[in-house]
Amino acid sequence: MADPITPILAAERLAPPPDTEAESTRGVWYRYHLAHAFAAYVAFHNTLPTVGRNTEPGSRPELGYLSGMAVASTHAAALLQPDGDPWTSAGATMWHLTPELGALNGEYYDWLMDRLDEAGINPADIDHRLTAADFRSAPTGPVPAGT
Would you say residue 121 lies in a domain? Answer: yes
pLDDT in tens, 82-108: 765 545 677 777 877 887 777 777 788
Nearest Cα residue to 1 out of 128, 106, 126: 128
- What would the pLDDT profile of 120-131 be if each residue is shown by its tens digit? 999 999 999 999
Q: Is residue 140 in a domain?
A: no
pLDDT confidence band for 2 (50 / 70 / 90): low
Q: Which domain holds residue 53?
A: 6-134
CA 33, CA 63: separation in Å to the nearest integer? 19
User: Quick check: is 142 in a domain?
Assistant: no
8 Å CB contact between 74 and 108: yes
Question: Rounded to whole angstroms, how far apart are CA atoms 136 and 120?
Answer: 8
> Which of 88-92, 95-99, 115-119, 143-147 is the least confident region?
143-147
Cα distance between residue 35 and residue 73, in whole Å: 9
Which pLDDT score is estimated for 84? 55
Q: Is residue 39 part of a domain?
A: yes
pTM score of the predicted model: 0.82
Supply the pLDDT for residue 69: 92
The answer to the question of residue 146 being in a domain is: no
- Between CA 33 and CA 70 the distance in angstroms is 9
Q: Which of 13-17, 90-94, 136-140 has the lowest mean pLDDT?
A: 90-94
In 3-state terms, what secondary structure has residue 86? Answer: coil
Q: Is 1 contained in some domain?
A: no
- Whether the pLDDT of residue 3 is over 70: the answer is no
Q: Residue 142: its pLDDT value, please?
A: 47
In a domain, 92, yes or no: yes
Instruction: Identify whether the C-beta of residue 63 lies closer than 8 Å to the C-beta of residue 47.
Output: yes
Q: At CA 91, angle to CA 88 and CA 97, rounded to 5? A: 100
75 pLDDT higher than 90: no
Q: Is 31 part of any domain?
A: yes
DSSP 4-63: TTHHHHHHHHHSPPPSSSTT--HHHHHHHHHHHHHHHHHHHHHHGGG--TTPPTTS-HHH
pLDDT > 90: percent of the chain? 42
pLDDT band at 134 (very low <50, low <70, confident <90, very high): very high
Domain count across the chain:
1
